[in-house]
Every structure is written in C-alpha cells, then in structure tokens.
A and B are shown apart, each in its own frame.
Chain A
C-alpha cells in the first residue's frame, strides 16, 4: 500500500516538477506535427560540382527515412539549393531557405568560402548551421558562433598527423608539398607545418596549383627537381590521381602522403593506377566503398542496397556517397534525440549531446562525440597504407 501511494506521489511530483518532460510539443519555424523542413546548399554546378552527389545522396537518405515512417512520426522535407560554390549565391540561398522557405535548420552546406559567407548570418538569425561540409578549424567555436558546427575531422589536425608520422619515422626527410591554392589546401599546409614545429625546415619545396589548371604535371616535375624524397599531396581527387600517376611515371617515387579527401580507391587510385599507388599513406574515418576488405561487410552491403533503391544513378565507387550517408545518419540521430521539442535551440542542444555515436559506415573505433564546449563531432582518424589492393589500417586511432 505504502509503496503504491509512494509511487503515485512520486509520479505526481515528477509531473509537476518537469512539465516539459511530458509529450509537450514545441516548434520553431520549419517544424510541426507532420513535417520537419531541413535546408541544404550544395554546389550542383560550377567548379565543385563533383561534390553535388553528396546533396543527392542525402536527399535519397531522407526519402528512405520517410518511407520508413519519418522521424518520430514526422516526414522530412529536404530543400536543397545550388550555389555553384559562389559565396554571393550561398548568401542568397541561405536567406531564401531561412526567410522564404522557413526551414528549421540548414545542414551540410559545402565549402569554406560559401560557409564563411553565411557564418555570421546564421548566428545572428539563430538558425542551426550544422555539420558543414568543410574541415576548416573555425567551425568549432561554441562560444563565438554557438549555432555553427562542423562534422568531419578538421584539416589542420590531419596535417599534423602526417607531420608527426614523418618526424617519428623519417626525421631526416626532405619534404615537398603540393597544395591546392585555396582555403582547403592552405589549411592542410598550415596544420602540417605547425605539426613539424621547429623542424619546418624539412620542407624543401612547396608548390601550389589552381582548380582551373588542366594538369599538375609541371608541379610534380618541380617537386622532383627539388630533391625531395617525401611528398605531401594536398589535392582534390582529379588532381590527386594526376599527381600520383606523374610522380610514378617520372621515376620520382617518393614516400607519398595523400590527404584523406583524395584517398579514395574508386575515384583516385584506380584512375591513377593501382601499381602506381602502392605505399601511399593517408588517414581515414569512413569505409572506402571499393576496398576489398569491406566487400562482405554488412554495413556496406546495407549502403549498397540503399543506393540501389533510392539513388540508382549514384556512383557506387564514389566515397562522397558514403560520406553523405554518414552525415545524414548523424543528422537523423540529432532529430531522433530532439523528440517532440523541435525548437532550434533544442536542435543545437541535441547536436551538442552526441555521445559515442557511430554512423555504421565509419571505420571501427571512430566515434562521434560532442558537448557544449566541443563542436567538433569527429576528431579521430586512422592511419592507412595502400598495399596495391586495399587500404591497410595501421597504428592506433589518433585523436579522441
């Protein structure tokens, strides 16, 4: 008897003490009982159009989620606009999403300059600016920009990892660097040089290239001529393939580090040539869709089934489509955690409360963690080496 009264009293007390806890729905613009509107800006045209497939993968993911009943009973309306990688266009599209389409949040907008252009706007308007598709360090600033959050491991950290690996294994290296002359390339370079610290003199030559250059052959020739025996290759997939092939064809064959964006078997190593890519070192946090070791992996099988059903024109050899899947899963998790409290503030709170979350296409051991002071979801990476067929993981997981 006593127990019964006690439990009823406890229930009443709980009910009175936390009125919010009971299924009380709270909405900000973009969410209601039936629908959650999510905005996205991606370069479907222009110089970065190769990444447009990420937006398409994400759209397909939400279609799949809707087919399975949506999130907490609500369907996702995914609105994605093209900015052609042009910051003025990104500003216009962000304003359109927030002011005209009235979305609840914007996620996975792509590119550092486009996101820099809307960084302040999103924070002034207090609209979640989540999981931006760039590895710049400035997205992890919970105090200054509490509405913006990155997702992928940041470029500077990755550059540091390679620097440390060189210092440990080859302290007398003569390093040559090829970098794309934009924020992406320069961020990696900065991290790399910071990682070398007082040994930065090991870098004997740095050469840049523009995205509009037809080839980087001339740059590889310059690096070879400098006498470097170690090569840090900061490029995007097309140029990475050219660089790997040329570095082999000219007979240079240095110890070759390639940055993670370009460490894809299907879109980089295959065009470059598998024999020419043996020994390549990189880091990774996602499973490569062409890696033999994951051929029978259940999570990758699931991904392929998803692609076949919801995005059949999508390329199964493009790692960007695995990336899009993983980041959509992360967003999905945040929405699930938010439950019926679909205010923008709560979305940010849930995004900042991811504990050991693992999109299943990530490498074993990599997990996502965020907190009120930690707006960098993925901070761990795994060193990998290509053996001619697959990326072999070696060493411990680096980072948190």
Chain B
C-alpha cells in the first residue's frame, strides 16, 4: 500500500473516532448500524465479489450471529463482548457446512439455494420446539452494554467505538487474506475455475472456506447488530435483509474492500432520504436511486472512485511541467 493510501485511511479513521462527539446520539446509533452493515457486506463481497459465488441468503448468517449473541447473553448471562467470537465461530462452521453441498451448484442454482436458506430461517427460528431458546415469535430482548471502566461517554458512544474496533480488525484481516494466496485463489476460481483447478488450486476447499469466512463476517455483524438494536425476533430477519445486502455490495462495488463501506452507508441512509423525499411511495424513490447508481456507476461507487482517481492522477502526470 502506498504512503498516500495509508495516510488517507488514517485520516478516515481519525474522523470516524471524532464523530460521536460531534453528532447526536441518534446519528451515532445510525453510524454504528452502518459499521455493522459494512462488516456484513465485506463478508458477502468476499464470497460474491471476489469468489463469484452468488448468495441471496446472507441474511440467514446475519440472523444466526444475532441469535447466537442473544441466546448467550439472555440464557447464559455471557457478557456482550464474549459473544462476538462465538458468533464468529458458529457462523464459520455453518457457512462451511453450507458451502460443501453448494459446491455442486452454480450461478442461478446457488442463488436459489441461498434464497431458500434465507427464507427458511425465520420459520426455523419460530419453530415451537426451539422456542425455549429462541423466544419464538416474541424474540429476545437484550440489555444495552454500559461503557466499561467508568469512561465518561454514554452507552451509544461506547457501542460505536466497540463496533468500530471490531470493524477495523475485521477489515484488516480481510485485506490481509485477500492480498495473499487465498485471495488470489478466490479470484482465480471466479474468473477461470477450470484453469485454476488445473493449476493445482484445491477449488472445493477454497470455495467452502470462502463460504465459511464470508458467513463468519456476516455473523459477527449480526451479533453486533443485535447488541446495538437490543432485540432479536424472526421478523427482523426476513428475505429483504439478504436482498439489501446484495444491493449494498453491488452499489458499493464488487470485489472491493472500500465498497463495503460505501454500500453500508447506502443501505443505511438512502431509505431515510427516500422517505424524506416522498411519503407516498418511498420505496419507489429508493428504486430510482438504485437505478441511478447502477446506470451511472455500473462497477459501484468504489469502481467509480477508482476511475476518478486514475483519471486525476493521469491528468496530473500529463500536465506539462513548464
């Protein structure tokens, strides 16, 4: 990474840290949710953007992570921060196990399988035999964590920093992974999977692992989201969540880490903007926003940013030095 990129990221992080003191509690809460979505989108992007496996069902892993956190906190009294690694582990395994039979499915068929997963999960959460754990249709209420060590910040701000820290960690891990052998293998499989196999990449293993890791990311996001909202219920995790995740990575930019952030900001804030524009048909306005973004930036916001930067630097290079 170039010096300039490191500087840019440092500035962004600094700004992110300063935000909770500048904006209201409500905005801090919204930004926390945007951070949560960015982790989820990073997970989905790894699978769909970098590895080419389309998933219409990541909402299911989001739900599993959320319920894992809720059940641990409610039934076992675990502290909130300890539930994150468990949610990660559970979803890693769940994703890997789902990825195995999914190896046989390509494109549309995989889309259907993941769609089916997302649609079936609320039914499973409501299943009366599992009710003592999941709270059934009533869901589970979670207590908001208090800032530790008596820090002079309120609960919303603490949650924001906690989420930010986890997000930074997850992003760094992802960057490392995608830069290395695994990342190259993932992209190779996406672009030319037969050639990749011929080159000695164990496609089955890589694809299943990618599914697992992608699920893990979304599961961590789910757990953080549950803690931020303080409530989980089957109605919170319908198919629309999965669809919004897909929309998020496409708008943000496929196969791009920064795309996860842009996409998260889009799915968190644009529905509210659409609602402000039209009370009568807000989702129609949202749809129009979607069309606009896709027409103008088919490679996503990250793609457009990349092109703009390239054009600017090219211009700078082409300026005659007089």
A binds B: yes
A91 to B283, CA, bound (A): 19
Q: How far is the CB of A201 from chain B (nearest CB, A)?
A: 19
Which listed residue, A81, A86, A91, A121, touches B235 by the CB 8 Å rule? A86
* A87 near B231: Cβ-Cβ < 8 Å: yes
Q: What is the 8 Å Cβ interface bit string for chain A, positions 93-120, against chain B (1 contact, 0 not)?
A: 0011001100000000000111011011
Given A86-B236, A99-B26, A100-B26, also A91-B137 (CB < 8 A): no
* A92 near B235: Cβ-Cβ < 8 Å: no
Given A92-B30, A113-B139, also A82-B275 (CB < 8 A): yes
Which listed residue, B29, B33, B235, touches A87 by the CB 8 Å rule? B235
**Closest residue on chain A to residue B271 by CB atoms:** A89
Given A85-B235, A95-B29, A113-B235, also A182-B229 (CB < 8 A): no
Chain A residues with CB below 8 A from B136, complex form: 186
Given A82-B282, A88-B236, also A120-B33 (CB < 8 A): no
Scoring B26, B139, B279 by chain A CB atoms within 10 A of each residue's CB, the highest score goes to B26
A373 to B229, CA, bound (A): 30
Scoring B137, B141, B275 by chain A CB atoms within 10 A of each residue's CB, the highest score goes to B137
A46 to B282, CA, bound (A): 12
- CB neighbors of A among B217-249 (8 A): 225, 229-231, 233-236, 238, 240
A47 to B30, CA, bound (A): 24
The count of residues in chain B whose C-beta lies closer than 8 Å to any C-beta of chain A is 28
* A87 near B24: Cβ-Cβ < 8 Å: no
Chain B residues with CB below 8 A from A82, complex form: 275, 282
* B275 near A210: Cβ-Cβ < 8 Å: no
* A116 near B229: Cβ-Cβ < 8 Å: no
Does A183 have its Cβ within 8 Å of any Cβ on chain B?
A: yes
Chain A residues with CB below 8 A from B231, complex form: 87-88, 91, 116-117
Q: What is the 8 Å Cβ interface bit string for chain A, positions 316-357, against chain B (1 contact, 0 not)?
A: 000000000000000000000000000000000000000000
Chain A residues with CB below 8 A from B233, complex form: 87, 113, 116-117
Q: How far is the CB of A212 from chain B (nearest CB, A)?
A: 8
Does B138 have its Cβ within 8 Å of any Cβ on chain A?
A: yes
Does B277 have its Cβ within 8 Å of any Cβ on chain A?
A: no
Chain B residues with CB below 8 A from A183, complex form: 137-138
* B138 near A87: Cβ-Cβ < 8 Å: no
Q: What is the 8 Å Cβ interface bit string for chain A, positions 37-68, against chain B (1 contact, 0 not)?
A: 00000001111000000000000000000000
Q: How far is the CB of A122 from chain B (nearest CB, A)?
A: 12
Q: How far is the CB of B102 from chain A (nearest CB, A)?
A: 24
Chain A residues with CB below 8 A from B283, complex form: 45
Does B194 have its Cβ within 8 Å of any Cβ on chain A?
A: no
The count of residues in chain A whose C-beta lies closer than 8 Å to any C-beta of chain B is 31
Interface of chain A, helix or strand or loop or mixed?
helix
Chain A residues with CB below 8 A from B275, complex form: 81-82
A91 to B141, CA, bound (A): 12
* A100 near B24: Cβ-Cβ < 8 Å: yes
A88 to B275, CA, bound (A): 16
Chain B residues with CB below 8 A from A100, complex form: 24, 26
Given A45-B283, A85-B235, A99-B24, also A91-B230 (CB < 8 A): yes
Which listed residue, A44, A96, A116, A181, touches B26 by the CB 8 Å rule? A96
Given A87-B233, A87-B235, A92-B29, also A182-B137 (CB < 8 A): yes
* A113 near B30: Cβ-Cβ < 8 Å: no
Chain B residues with CB below 8 A from A46, complex form: 240
Q: What is the 8 Å Cβ interface bit string for chain B, positions 90-126, against chain A (1 contact, 0 not)?
A: 0000000000000000000000000000010001001
A181 to B125, CA, bound (A): 11
Chain A residues close to B by CB (< 8 Å): 44-47, 81-82, 84-88, 91-92, 95-96, 99-100, 112-114, 116-117, 119-121, 181-183, 186, 210, 212
What are 20 residue pairs bridging A and B, where the CB atoms are less than 8 Å apart in the complex? A44-B282, A45-B283, A46-B240, A47-B238, A85-B235, A87-B231, A87-B233, A88-B33, A88-B231, A91-B229, A92-B33, A95-B26, A95-B29, A112-B137, A117-B139, A117-B231, A120-B141, A121-B230, A182-B137, A210-B123
Those 3 A-B pairs whose CB atoms lie nearest each other, nearest first: A117-B231, A99-B26, A113-B233
